[in-house]
Amino acid sequence: MAKANFVTPELHEFVEVPEVSEGTMAHLSPFVAYPEHNTDLNFPGELVEDWHGKTLSKLDDLRKRYRSLQVYLDSCVKCGACTDKCHYFLGTKDPKNMPVGRQDLLRKVYRRYFTLAGRFFPKLVGAKDLTRETLDEWYSYYHQCSQCRRCSVFCPYGIDTAEISMAAREILDSIGYGQKYCNEIIAKVGKIGNNLGLPGPALADTLEGLEEDVEDDTGVAVKYPLDVKGADILLVTPSADFFAEPHVDGLIGYGKVFHEAGVSWTLSSYASEAANFGMFIGSYENMRRVSLRIRKAALDLGVKRIVFGECGHAWRVAYAFLNTLAGPFDFLDPAYPVPQHIMEFTWDQIQKGKLKFDKTANDHMKLTFHDSCNVARATRMGDKPGGQIEIPRNVIKAVCNNFADMHHETIGERTFCCGGGGGLLTDDLMEIRVKGALPRMTALKNVMEEEGVTHLAAICAICKSQFTKVLPYYGMEMDQVVSVHQLVSNAIILTGQETDENDRDDEPDEVEI
């Protein structure tokens, strides 16, 4: 992909809150979906003739079905608390990328047609007519939001711009103005089973290759099973884990952990995708359709547990929505939460002392951890609030000697999005992806300079792909991104493993935690 047409922001010690500069990103819109991408998802193929009426009736429908939308449209007092919180605003200076600026694109129309004040005194309350240009503006700016929810942390009423941008995208879909990237992918899941369109035989082939690699590497026959009926655990993981770097190293790690834990597990070719882009387009129906594949796979394979691999928004859909969308899961073993995150599984095994590690295997790196937005702000791991922030760090520290966190205002619940989430991980949106990565890149660069950090560990397929692509724009290396289970994989000592330096009988330096 050409780097042309925009300037990568410079990195400074701090991310300065810029002065607003109107319209800097007005030119950027993602590719529009082809008719068949829309019709595959039961949306009109092209912009409908009566878009005006249909837009308003859809908005009316959504505000009656989603309390969040109704309350958030009403409650904003324009206090400005969110204005300097969005990575896309910080990276672009465009005021329509301030959370409230983005919300107002829809709120102005809501006020004009659904509130007394807006009907009678539109200028006074900043209400605007719905025009054809409004739709283009929505299409542009609601696809410059990664739905990361950072704004909702700081809003005194918890207004979540993600809810607004999901609603806006659903309205656009309902009038035939869908985004190519998301809609094409959702259709692919429906037809083939995963975002990447990898058919079953290709998956089997890949997994076989992994088994060979791991055996060559360790001398231990670790299995990467597919469609095995009667296995205990169904692993659902983002399809990027099957071949992309560094994702696949994470998948290798999951397999090693399962192997050492002595559990039987399987992947499913039917539900070979953890990601659920139905969330990005705000479509309950599509999100449910994708989720039901996981339910069906679990039933067909007769598993007892469902575990999810490293993926941010997938974990949100899995943790927060799956039970609602595709439950009840009363056919699974009630002793375990449904679903579980691989991080919960691994941390549990570590605490039980079932896994042995040689932490020095990761000594060539000093790690920091990127909290994925959806994991940090929309889910949990373990029993206690905040487990989603602690447990991944616990796992990293159990397998690595060198770890340092980035600045405290850029991690945990305040984490900055990688810049590529929410259906933006497409080349036609490269400019916003690069500019939106500015706050994260700044924090990373600082911790590299101050703490000697060399690598960034992530637990999200989108984050990993985005960083791989964006790091070079900021003068860093694409292979500085690693999967957390890649670190686990490096350090884990499999029972019966041959190691280069040590004799087989040697006790490892580092033992279980």
Residue recorded with tokens 């659920």: 276
- DSSP 8-class letter at 483: E
Query: CA-CA distance, 439 to 3, in Å (whole number)?
Result: 20
Task: Work out which of 15, 28, 41, 76 binds other proteins, going by CB under 8 A.
Answer: 76
Residue 64 CB, nearest distance to other proteins (Å)? 6
Of 253, 220, 213, give the one whose Cα is nearest residue 497.
Answer: 220
Cα dihedral 392→398→402→407 (10° resolution): 30
Window of 41-49, 111-119, 196-204, 296-304 that interacts with other proteins by CB under 8 A: 111-119
Give 431's contacts (C-beta < 8 A, 6+ positions apart).
5, 6, 25, 28
77 contributes a contact to other proteins by CB under 8 A: yes
Which residue, 206 or 374, has its beta carbon nearer to other proteins? 374
74 contributes a contact to other proteins by CB under 8 A: yes
* Number of neighbouring beta carbons within 10 Å of residue 308: 25
Task: Work out which of 26, 27, 49, 117 binds other proteins, going by CB under 8 A.
Answer: 117
Token couple for 20 = 């607003």
Residue 15 CB, nearest distance to other proteins (Å)? 15
Residue 65 CB, nearest distance to other proteins (Å)? 6
Query: CA-CA distance, 506 to 154, in Å (whole number)?
Result: 53
Q: What angle do CA 23, 280, 319 make, to 5 degrees?
A: 135
Phi, psi torsion values for 403, nearest 5 degrees: -145, 140
Coil, strand or helix at 190: helix
186 contributes a contact to other proteins by CB under 8 A: no
Residue 240 CB, nearest distance to other proteins (Å)? 24
Task: Work out which of 55, 97, 146, 152 binds other proteins, going by CB under 8 A.
Answer: 152
**C-beta separation of 444 from 454 below 8 A:** no
Which residue, 224 or 319, has its beta carbon nearer to other proteins? 319
149 contributes a contact to other proteins by CB under 8 A: yes
Query: CA-CA distance, 85 to 431, in Å (whole number)?
Result: 19
Which residue, 20 or 47, has its beta carbon nearer to other proteins? 20
Residue 457 CB, nearest distance to other proteins (Å)? 20
Number of residues that bind other proteins (CB under 8 A): 74
Which residue, 164 or 492, has its beta carbon nearer to other proteins? 164
Window of 94-102, 233-241, 424-432, 442-450 that interacts with other proteins by CB under 8 A: 94-102
Pattern 392-421, binding to other proteins, x per CB under 8 A? ---------------------xx-------
19 contributes a contact to other proteins by CB under 8 A: yes
Task: Work out which of 1, 7, 116, 335 binds other proteins, going by CB under 8 A.
Answer: 116
Alpha helices in 18-66 (DSSP H): 35-40, 51-65
**C-beta separation of 314 from 255 below 8 A:** no
63 contributes a contact to other proteins by CB under 8 A: yes
**C-beta separation of 25 from 97 below 8 A:** yes
Beta pairing class for 455-458 and 265-266: unpaired
Which residue, 1 or 116, has its beta carbon nearer to other proteins? 116
Residues numbered 268 to 287 that lie near other proteins (CB under 8 A) are 284-285
Window of 296-304, 371-379, 434-442, 452-460 that interacts with other proteins by CB under 8 A: 371-379
Window of 23-31, 96-104, 135-143, 350-358 that interacts with other proteins by CB under 8 A: 96-104
- Please provide the size of the chain in residues: 513
64 contributes a contact to other proteins by CB under 8 A: yes
20 contributes a contact to other proteins by CB under 8 A: yes
Token couple for 67 = 């309390």
338 contributes a contact to other proteins by CB under 8 A: yes
Residue recorded with tokens 């760090």: 393
Residues numbered 481 to 510 that lie near other proteins (CB under 8 A) are none
Coil, strand or helix at 267: strand
Which residue, 78 or 191, has its beta carbon nearer to other proteins? 78
Bridge partners (DSSP) listed for residue 120: none
Residues numbered 287 to 326 that lie near other proteins (CB under 8 A) are 288, 319-321, 323-324
479 contributes a contact to other proteins by CB under 8 A: no
Query: CA-CA distance, 85 to 370, in Å (whole number)?
Result: 17
328 contributes a contact to other proteins by CB under 8 A: yes
Q: Is the peptide bond before 246 cis (omega within 30 degrees of 0)?
A: yes
